[in-house]
Amino acid sequence: MELRHVTGTDNHLADIISRNPAGLNASEIRNFTTANTIVVNKIDLNIDKTVYKDLGNLAQLQQTDPRIQTIRQRRDSHPTAIDGRYRLWDNTVFCRELRNASERKPVLPVCLEERAVHYAHTSLGHLGVDTCIQQIKQAYYFKNLGHKVRKYRACCDICQRVKYSNRAVTTEGRSHLMAKPDCLCAIGLFGSLPTSRSGAKYILKFLPEGPEDTSLSEDLQTKIAKAYEKMKGKINARNKKKTKGNRHWKPKLNDKALLRAQPVPDATAGVTAKFLRPYQGPYVVTKVTPPSTFELSEENAHFRGQFNKKLTKNTRRQQEVMKPQTEKKSCG
């Protein structure tokens, strides 16, 4: 064997194999890229082409079909009642599927229905049901076309083996955790263990002895009862908690209201935030904009701004009703 280096421009054999020969002018390259013959691999779709011969003798096969013969007899006896849908042309029965459609199609005998569905299904490459139905409806008519095409596709071995079904299958969930101690388990690893986001690597470690079972300090029912009592206590405390009284307050014109503020503490002056008031005012409501916007002004008619109801507070406070103490008078 002799090894010899050939440059790229002189290596015509490699160019021919790659279908891009070198040393051609523009016209030769254009003629070469537009080939007249395209070679492809032949795929056997198992198409039965003998149905063409039987479709050529459609008139003779219609005479052997009992259903089509019944239609012919009804047409001869009552021509006005059935003439609107069926017509007899060239000794062949034609049918109109929709009453408003003007196109009529030949009625297919029962002996050719399954063969026609098989030819359409295989010639289209085992496509869906709708595509097969549309292909047959363009040329022929027979009763219950959709039901028969779906039934044939359900019996097609290639479609059932190759195509994926969209039906949800309920499977039994099995966890890798052990159901009880001393269970036999198997672990299969492929490659290294994963790495966390922070860069830590997981390590698989087998303990020579299992962990010891320790009894709980309290019973499970006792824990549930204590948690339930704690939850009831929080609910009762929440119900006893007094509301702020601002929920049902609806300010009106010329009413006084306080405005929530964000006081700025001054450390140099010795003023801290906890000694500052969270509300400023009172201000007078000069305008009400539904549903919850109010215009506030000072008492000297100086405009303060428009604020939401959540930032305001009622100035009226509930007066505590004190029961008068009655002095006991001594009699005697």
Q: What is the DSSP letter of 8?
A: T
310 in a structural domain? yes
Give how many domains the chain has, as a whole number. Answer: 2
Domain limits for position 276: 256-314
**pTM higher than 0.85:** no
Q: What is the DSSP letter of 139?
A: T
Q: In the listed set 115, 144, 162, which residue is the last one of a domain according to the structure?
A: 162
56 and 158 together in one domain = yes
| Residue 126 pLDDT | 85
* Measured distance CA(63)–CA(69) in Å, rounded: 6
Residue whose pair of structure tokens reads 């019996």 in the numeric block: 155
Tokens of 165: 């079904």
| Residue 104 pLDDT | 85
Enumerate residues 6+ apart whose C-beta is below 8 A from 278. Answer: 260, 261, 263
Q: If DSSP codes are grouped into helix, strand and coil, which group holds residue 16? A: helix
10 in a structural domain? no
Q: For residue 103, which phi and psi values (nearest 5 degrees)?
A: -85, 130
Q: If DSSP codes are grouped into helix, strand and coil, which group holds residue 281? A: strand
Tokens of 323: 């029961």
85 in a structural domain? yes
CA distances from 177 to 183, 207, 211 (A): 10, 15, 15
> Sign of torsion, CA 293 299 303 304?
negative
105 in a structural domain? yes
209 in a structural domain? no
Tokens of 246: 């601002």
Residue 323, CB-side half-sphere exposure with 13 Å CA sphere = 3
pLDDT 10s per residue in the chain (332 long)? 677 777 766 766 665 555 555 566 767 666 655 555 656 667 777 788 888 888 888 888 888 888 888 888 887 777 665 567 788 888 888 888 765 567 888 889 988 899 999 989 988 888 888 999 988 988 888 888 889 999 998 888 888 777 766 666 565 555 556 667 677 666 666 666 767 777 777 777 766 666 676 666 667 788 888 999 999 999 888 888 766 555 677 778 888 888 887 766 666 556 565 666 777 778 888 888 888 888 888 888 788 888 888 788 777 643 333 334 444 444 44
Cα–Cα nearest to 266, from 258, 275, 255 = 275
Q: In the listed set 139, 162, 185, which residue is the last one of a domain according to the structure?
A: 162
| Residue 232 pLDDT | 92
* Total Cβ atoms within 10 A of residue 120: 23
- 92 bridge partner residues: 89
CATH number at residue 113: 1.10.340.70
220 in a structural domain? no
* Measured distance CA(108)–CA(67) in Å, rounded: 11
Q: In what order do the strands lie in the sheet with 86-89?
A: 86-89, 92-95, 105-106
Q: H helices then E strands: how many in the chain? A: 11, 8
Q: What is the DSSP letter of 310?
A: G
What b-and-e string marks burial along 10-29, b requiring 16 or more CB atoms within 10 Å of the CB?
eeeeebeeeeeeeeeeeeee
* Total Cβ atoms within 10 A of residue 281: 19
208 in a structural domain? no
Q: Would you say 54 and 118 are in contact if contact means Cβ atoms under 8 Å apart?
A: no
11 in a structural domain? no
* Measured distance CA(168)–CA(148) in Å, rounded: 25
CATH number at residue 295: 2.30.30
* Total Cβ atoms within 10 A of residue 54: 15
| Residue 231 pLDDT | 93
